[in-house]
A and B are shown apart, each in its own frame.
Chain A
Amino acid sequence: MTSVLRDIYNNVFEFVRTFGAFQLFFLRLVRHSPRMLLRRPGLVIKQVYNTGALSLVIIMVCGFFVGGVLALQGYANLARFNAEDSVGTVVALALIKELGPVITALLFAGRAGTALSSEIGLMKATDQLSAMEMMAVNPVRRVLVPRFVGGVISMPLLVAVFTCIGLFGADVVAVYLLSVDVGAFWQQMQLSVDIKDIQEGIFKSIVFGIVASLLAVWEGYNAIPTAEGVGRATTRTVVITAIAVLILDFMITAVML
């Protein structure tokens, strides 16, 4: 009986401790971020390239097909009410407010987040972080901060690309495949999408960018420095990011309604 209590106590203690360490870690990254951007923009730009530019292809392909399938589904359902012309509105709202930020964040976790975690974990396993420490260079500042900032910058840009390509995909499907009137498609969309909707999407993309980059960097930095530990950290990055993004998405939407 007491051993069960002790286990519970230990687990709760461990959880609180990890969570506290996580918050401190976040603050540490944020504290160094502005200076990194001002003094070593080159390091950040390199990471924007690594996390952002290298994710473009997968983001664009997925965006196109998500937009296309939304148009198909939207058309099939709206046709029952003779409201096919509103398909542009439905697709745009879904993409801008929800699917753009959420799917991009999930893809980001799979493509860029895993790359970050495994890279940092491997640097730890091969003593590269210790070597930096020994050269009086703070690895948090030199390695983690640029990667974090790079991810935070990339995410909103990727979301924007995803959403635009998605709209294009919807346009192709609706106008060319299902012969919705092209004028109606875009005009309906323009009339019903509010600046508030776009703000919501941008806000989400910023939050997801911070969360996904933070988790990727955290998991890599705290990986057990072995091949197996790095592998496990990489998996955890995807799983935890996905869960965090979906929960946060629900919470943000609920608050913003």
Chain B
Amino acid sequence: MEADSENLIEIRDLMYSRGARVIFKGLNLTIKRGEVTAFMGPSGTGKTTLLRLITRQLIPQQGAIYVNGVDIATLNQRKLYELRQRFGMLFQNGALLTDLNVFENVAFPLREHTKLTNRLIRHVVLTKLHAVGLRGAADMSPTELSGGMARRVALARAMVMDPDILIYDEPFVGLDPISMGVIVRLVRRMNDALGITSIVVSHDVAEVSTVADRSYLISDGKVAASGSPDELQAANSELVRQFMHGMADGPVAFHFDAPDYAEQLLGRDSE
């Protein structure tokens, strides 16, 4: 493919709504090859939805998403699956397969897509599990893992095919400080050593600052601000300041759209 272009993913004028609820209204952003890009934004702005759009689990109503210069909406199933083999995705809740044990979960993509011998699979899987510190949990069932452990196993699974693009949905939630440090360094190291392009969704401003090359702050269906972590920290837009410093008052509403508080408490419904 056109490996020379430095933009790996381009999103142009993306519009997407679920039912009556408009989630994106004209979103534009670019993800550069070899960088760690972070999506930040208040809960419910559609970060997970954006990841699902980029991987074509959802299809935008308007606008286009280009991966390697190809509009992914035009791919047929075979081409799409070829593309997805180059993606590794960490789901927000891990999404481990509950009928397989931890080892088989990590081995799953290898068994489905390669003809490696059992010995080789064992070797690869144990290496990846070791990297996330869970080699000892290989024989456990996913239901026996804590949330943070499940996420780490899912991370091992996302890495096992040596993808070109790794997508992490909230990788830092529910990790203790030690695993957090390890995972943050792992994300960074894989990106630099293996030349992977990474997309990280996170609320965690501090962790994002240490790991990301470029951040997009998504709010109200658009990119509200973008730049390196330092640029965002220094930005003096009210919205960015509010988010980066965690203030309740500001242009981002903490509350989901709702009728007037006092009126609702007093039971005067508009009906």
The closest CB in chain B to the CB of A135 belongs to: B109
Name the residue on A nearest B87 (C-beta). Answer: A134
Q: Say yes or no: B112 contacts A142, CB within 8 Å.
A: yes
Secondary structure dominating the interface of A: helix
Task: Say yes or no: A131-B95 contact (C-beta < 8 A), given A136-B81, A136-B84, A136-B85.
Answer: yes
A136 to B83 CA separation, bound complex (whole angstroms): 8
Known contacts A130-B57, A131-B89, A137 near B95 by CB under 8 Å: no
B95 near A136 with CB under 8 A, answer no
The 0/1 profile, CB within 8 Å of A marked 1, for residues 75-90 of chain B is 0000001101101010
Smallest beta-carbon distance A171→chain B, Å = 40
Decide yes or no whether A126 CB sits under 8 A from chain B: yes
How many interface residues does B have (CB within 8 Å)?
A: 24
Number of A-B contacts (CB under 8 A): 54
Chain B residue numbers with a CB within 8 Å of A122 are 98
- Is there contact, CB below 8 Å, between A128 and B57? no
Please tell me if A123 contacts chain B, counting CB pairs below 8 Å.
yes
CB distance from A185 to the nearest CB of B (A): 46
* 0/1 interface trace, chain B 88-108, chain A, CB 8 Å (1 if under): 010111011111000000001
Chain B residues closer than 8 Å to A133, beta-carbon distance: 57, 84
List residues of B whose CB falls within 8 A of some A CB: 52, 55, 57, 81-82, 84-85, 87, 89, 91-93, 95-99, 108-109, 112-113, 154, 157, 161
A selection of 19 A-B contacts at a CB cut-off of 8 Å is A126-B93, A126-B95, A127-B93, A127-B95, A128-B95, A128-B96, A130-B52, A131-B91, A131-B97, A132-B97, A133-B84, A134-B55, A134-B87, A134-B89, A135-B157, A136-B84, A136-B113, A138-B81, A142-B112
Question: Which residues of A are at the interface with B, using a C-beta cutoff of 8 A?
Answer: 119, 122-123, 126-128, 130-138, 142
